[in-house]
Structure 1
Amino acid sequence: MMHAQQQISLSMNVQKSLRGSIFAASIWNDLDFETRIAILRRWAKSLDKLSAMMVNFQCTNAQEMVATPHVMPGPTGESNTLYCVGRGVVVVTANDDVANHVVIAQIAAALVCGNSVMLCLSPDHPLKAGVILSQLAQAGAIANVLTVIESHDFEPLIQSEAVVAVAYSGSADRALDIGRQLAAREGQLAQLVAETDVVNLPIIGSQSYCLRFITERTRTINITAVGGNATLLELGCGEAS
């Protein structure tokens, strides 16, 4: 829950958008990776060639690295399954000189892993957010899995504990500034996923980029219970870095 100070600083529209994004994340995260990947690949068909390549690249990496659950035998005979899910609400932002396909890659990586995205760009950025919203809806994405926020709402928004991560592309100085803001906020820590080399993209272009947007969970089924009763226990096992 947001602190009273955060609620005051956020406009009513942004509060409403944040609530919608939280709800969308829970529904989107319940879809399996295959379903999310299929939706995003359909979205890619409506994008320019470079942006489409970025979406498909992120989908392929997620499919190979985090989509498959891993069964781990337990010492007492129980069944343990390790699997990956999204972390929640991710804010995506970028400097005005960052190319569209870089921002698209950030959005795709967060979405394919089961998060919702709140996109926060200045009016001078060339990416047409309204077009992206329409394209995702036509591809079958659920409502509010992507929402658009005005740039002046960025700083109060990232103070909300509901925001689990900020994906940023741009200058190192701006990345440092965002990192300090996240470190200074109260409550749950939020991760900064920053790409400061917006030409070579060593972070976004890495196969492991998707790991920044997931958390691991373990599902344990006790198959040795007396009388054959099985108990189900699901635990969060921390966040992947």
Structure 2
Amino acid sequence: MAHQVVSFSNAYSAWENWNLTDFDSKIDGLLSLKNAMSESQYSAVIGFHIEQAANLLSLTHELVGPTGESNELYTSGRGVSLLVVENNSEAARLAALAQCVAALVAGNSVVMCSDDVEFTQQLDAAYQQSSLPTNVLHFTSLEASQQLLESDVRVVGFVGTQVGERKLNQVLASRTGSIVRFVSETDLTHLTSVHDPHLSLQFITERTRTINITAVGGNATLLGALDAGK
């Protein structure tokens, strides 16, 4: 149990810094991971989700400020993402990698639970060669996921069978504390998530930033105008 607790603790600490990292730096880190896997088919999966996320997450959106304030809508990572990979097939590897990249680019740290030693060693080797921060990506056994689910994970990704999906969903429903986002891939024939251009949106939360840009509390005269228009 101690090893899993340390993995979560390190992943959580890494998330706090990674989430505050500017988006361009996140992209650079993931591109270095892509380059480290350039001789495999996994490189294309990484590149696809980097490109799609850049179109979705890189911009801050200006919202209406009815009293003169500045309102900005932006995205943030949710926390530690736990990826449970039940299947060791090549299709499962692609789905797991897609979820991993989508979670990282959205600003989360990742703990991947899988018994596919060949794949996790290959991905870990690429991670060690990349410029991604220390502890932002962890690997552990599939069995360890049962204990890690007791930690304050904020997103759970799953790759495997519908039976496994249902059991994991029931476990998440019985948990106390924060609601956990559940991202699942059970169609290992069509691999919908691998080709989903919006996959990164499954791993984000939306936030707003409000700044008063007039002398005191915004432009109060606009409040009167809003009342008059009712």
TM exceeds 0.5? yes
**In the alignment, is residue 46 of structure 1 matched against residue 36 of structure 2?**
yes
Q: Pick from 65, 70, 77 the counterpart of residue 74 of structure 1.
A: 65
**In the alignment, is residue 119 of structure 1 matched against residue 118 of structure 2?**
no
Residue 95 of structure 1 and its aligned partner are, at CA, apart by 2.3
Q: Which residue of 2 aligns with 1:231?
A: none
2: CA distance between counterparts of 1:67 and 1:225?
31
Q: Which residue of 1 aligns with 2:163?
A: 173
Per-residue CA shift, 1:81-129, capped at 9, x if unaligned?
100011100011222333222221111111111100001002xx25432
CA contact (8 A) 1:21 1:89 kept: yes
Q: Which residue of 2 aligns with 1:19?
A: 9
- CA gap of 1:215–1:127, structure 2 versus 1, over 3 A, is farther
Q: Which residue of 2 aligns with 1:193?
A: 183
Q: Which residue of 2 aligns with 1:57?
A: 48
Q: Which residue of 2 aligns with 1:129?
A: 120
CA contact (8 A) 2:87 2:159 kept: no
Q: Which residue of 2 aligns with 1:91?
A: 82
Q: Pick from 94, 98, 111 the counterpart of residue 105 of structure 1.
A: 98
Comparing both chains, which one has the higher relative contact order based on Cα–Cα distances under 8 Å and sequence gaps of 6 or more?
2
**How large is the Cα RMSD of the aligned pairs?**
1.7
Q: Could you say which structure has the larger radius of gyration?
A: 2
Residue type at the aligned position of 1:132 = L
More strand by share: 1
Residue 22 of structure 1 and its aligned partner are, at CA, apart by 0.4
Residue 227 of structure 1 and its aligned partner are, at CA, apart by 10
2: CA distance between counterparts of 1:70 and 1:211?
15
1: CA distance between counterparts of 2:45 and 2:100?
10
Q: TM-score, normalised by structure 1?
A: 0.84
Per-residue CA shift, 1:115-155, capped at 9, x if unaligned?
00001002xx2543234223223211111101112222111
Per-residue CA shift, 1:25-77, capped at 9, x if unaligned?
01111111211111111211222442111111111111001221101130001
CA contact (8 A) 1:119 1:149 kept: yes
The runs of 5 or more residues in structure 2 that have no matched partner are 219-230
2: CA distance between counterparts of 1:207 and 1:104?
14
Q: Which residue of 2 aligns with 1:209?
A: 199
Residue 165 of structure 1 and its aligned partner are, at CA, apart by 1.1
Residues matched between the structures, number = 215
Q: TM-score, normalised by structure 2?
A: 0.88
Which SS does the other structure have where 1:200 is aligned? coil
1: CA distance between counterparts of 2:60 and 2:162?
36
Q: Which stretch of structure 1 is more off in the superposition, 175-184 or 49-58?
A: 49-58
The percent identity for this pair of structures is 33
2: CA distance between counterparts of 1:223 and 1:96?
53
2: CA distance between counterparts of 1:96 and 1:75?
52
CA contact (8 A) 1:92 1:168 kept: yes
Q: Pick from 134, 140, 148 the counterpart of residue 131 of structure 2.
A: 140
